[in-house]
Amino acid sequence: MAFKLTYSDGQESEHGDDTVWEVDNGVLKMGKQEGKWSVLLSPSHWAVIELGGAAPHDDNADDDDDSSDDTKGDEPESDDD
């Protein structure tokens, strides 16, 4: 399964379907065959694994876009008489 790896320093790398990986007690193990790991990363060196290349969805982002100017016209005008 394709995934994007973000390291603790912010650097990112993308890996295709041909990379096998697993996390064991925080250690990220990667290689071409399961059980034959060519890369081992300690928990202090990696931060995030995103599967399938999809970015995380921010529920608040949609709410902010929908409420831009639509509600401003619905407010009653004040009477300054």
Residue whose tokens read 């193990």: 29
Residue 20 and residue 75: Cα distance in Å, rounded?
A: 56
Question: Tens of pLDDT along 25-81?
Answer: 999 999 999 999 999 999 999 999 999 854 444 455 455 555 445 544 555 565 665
Position 18, amino acid: D
pTM recorded for the entire structure: 0.60
